[in-house]
C-alpha cells in the first residue's frame, strides 16, 4: 500500500521524511496544503480538514500508512525507520541514534531561528558558533558511517543540505 505524506507546500519539517522515504524506497504520495497570500496567510485549506482526519493530535506533517495515522515529524521518521531497521540494533546504537536525532533537531531549530528572527543581528553569532557545532557532529559520528545506516544519518544529510 502506498503511504501518504501531507504537509504545507514547502520543504520544512517534511523534507527529512521525504529523504527517508526515498532512501528506503518506500512508495508514497504527497498531499500539499497551501497558505494564502500575506498578510493574512489563509490556512483554511488545512483548518477545514484537520479535525475530520480521525487523528488524536491533528497536525502537519502527517503520514498515513493504511489504517495507521501519525503526526509529528520525529514520530513519523521513527515509524519509517523502525519499518526498515534503521534505529540501531543494540542499546548503545539506539542511544546514539536518539542523541543524534535530538542534537540534529537543535541544530535545525538554531538555523530556523536565524532565518526567521532578525537575520542580520544573529548571523555573526551563528556563523561563529557553526564550526564548533559541526566539529561536535563530526567527532560524534567519527567512523560510524558504514553499511548499517540509521535514521540520524538521513536527518544529518538534510541538516547539512539546508545550509
Question: Domain ends where: 34, 63, 83?
Answer: 83
- pTM for the model stands at 0.78
- Bridge partners of 70? 63
Q: Mind giving me the DSSP string for 123-144?
A: HHHHHHHHHHHHHHHHHHHTT-
Domain endpoint, select from 27, 51, 83: 83
- Classify residue 50 by its DSSP letter: G
CB burial class (10 A; 0-12, 13-18, 19+) of residue 100? buried
Which domain does 78 fall in, by range? 3-83
pLDDT recorded at residue 132: 95
Supply the pLDDT for residue 142. 85
CATH number at residue 146: 1.20.1050.10
Does 76 lie in the same domain as 39? yes
pLDDT at 1 (0 to 100): 86
Do residues 64 and 105 both lie within one domain?
no
Mean pLDDT by runs of 10 across the 163 residues of the chain is 96 94 97 94 96 96 97 96 92 91 90 89 92 92 67 58 57
In the prediction, which pLDDT does 52 show? 97
Amino acid at each position: 500500500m502506498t503511504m501518504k505524506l501531507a504537509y504545507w507546500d514547502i520543504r520544512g519539517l517534511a523534507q527529512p521524511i521525504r529523504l527517508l522515504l526515498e532512501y528506503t524506497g518506500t512508495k508514497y504520495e504527497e498531499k500539499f496544503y497551501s497558505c494564502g497570500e500575506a498578510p493574512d496567510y489563509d490556512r483554511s485549506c488545512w483548518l477545514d480538514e484537520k479535525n475530520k482526519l480521525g487523528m488524536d493530535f491533528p497536525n502537519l506533517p502527517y503520514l498515513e500508512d493504511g489504517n495507521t495515522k501519525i503526526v509529528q515529524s520525529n514520530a513519523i521518521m521513527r515509524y519509517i525507520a523502525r519499518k526498515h531497521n534503521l534505529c540501531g540494533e543494540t542499546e548503545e546504537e539506539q542511544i546514539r541514534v536518539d542523541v543524534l536525532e535530538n542534537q540534529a533537531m537543535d541544530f535545525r531549530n538554531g538555523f530556523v531561528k536565524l532565518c526567521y528572527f532578525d537575520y542580520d543581528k544573529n548571523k555573526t553569532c551563528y556563523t561563529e558558533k557553526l564550526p564548533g557545532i559541526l566539529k561536535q557532529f563530526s567527532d560524534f559520528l567519527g567512523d560510524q558511517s558504514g553499511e548499517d545506516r540509521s535514521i540520524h544519518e538521513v536527518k544529518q544529510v538534510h541538516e547539512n543540505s539546508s545550509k
